[in-house]
């Protein structure tokens, strides 16, 4: 026996594999949702970097880009916050879903992604950001009013769609990986002895 008591080879990968894979897929999902926000904002005639401006309000207050001496640093910090948030939130989503529902197909994963994205949006947007952003702004001593600027500046439907898109990617990309892995031969399997 190889120490895998369940007989499921996927479980032999362990928690560290799930954490690493979940972090990678979550960052990928964050990049994709950022790109979708840039395209969506451009189509609607808005600033394509609106999502980063909204993220920058988290640590700089109401108008982070207006009058910022180095806008590149502000946008870089906002992108870093976007990617870090995705990794922190998406990795547990991936690990738990992979442990409980690994064998689910595309339709079930898509349904799970839909409702988990909505729940994630409600929790992040209303339960956490409503108090966490003002608290953070007070703690770091940001100038101006300490308000939940993200809630005030990001339309709820955009935030909801972004969270749904993120959850769908986190749950569906691993399915695509497993399909790709099943059709790509393992190195050495096709070589003759």
Going from N- to C-terminal start, the domains of the chain cover 13-176
Average pLDDT of the residues of the chain: 81
- Of the candidates 63, 41, 43, the one whose C-alpha atom is nearest the C-alpha of residue 51 is 41
* pLDDT above 80 (res 144): no
SS3 content of the chain, % helix, strand, coil (to 5): 75, 0, 25
Q: pTM of the predicted model, to two decimals? A: 0.78
Q: Report the share of the chain in percent with pLDDT over 70.
A: 83
Q: Evaluate whether 162 touches 86 at the Cβ level (below 8 Å).
A: no
d(CA 43, CA 6): 50
Q: What is the mean pLDDT of residues 83-110?
A: 89
In this prediction, residue 79 carries a pLDDT of 93
In this prediction, residue 126 carries a pLDDT of 87
d(CA 168, CA 22): 13
48 C-beta neighbours (distance < 10 Å), count: 14
């Amino acid at each position: 026996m190889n120490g895998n008591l369940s007989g499921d080879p996927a479980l032999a990968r362990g928690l560290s594999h799930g954490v690493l894979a979940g972090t990678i897929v979550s960052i990928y999902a964050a990049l994709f949702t950022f790109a979708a926000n840039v395209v969506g904002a451009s189509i609607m005639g808005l600033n394509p970097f609106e999502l980063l401006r909204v993220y920058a309000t988290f640590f700089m207050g109401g108008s982070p880009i207006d009058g910022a001496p180095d806008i590149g640093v502000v946008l870089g910090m906002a992108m870093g916050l976007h990617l870090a948030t995705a990794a922190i939130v998406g990795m547990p989503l991936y690990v738990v879903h992979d442990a409980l529902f690994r064998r689910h197909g595309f339709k079930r994963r898509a349904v799970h992604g839909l409702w988990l994205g909505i729940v994630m949006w409600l929790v992040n947007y209303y339960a956490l950001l409503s108090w966490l952003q003002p608290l953070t702004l007070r703690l770091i001593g940001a100038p101006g009013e300490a308000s939940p600027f993200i809630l005030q500046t990001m339309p709820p439907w955009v935030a909801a769609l972004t969270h749904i898109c993120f959850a769908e990617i986190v749950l569906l990309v691993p399915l695509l990986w497993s399909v790709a892995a099943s059709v790509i031969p393992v190195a050495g399997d096709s070589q003759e002895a």
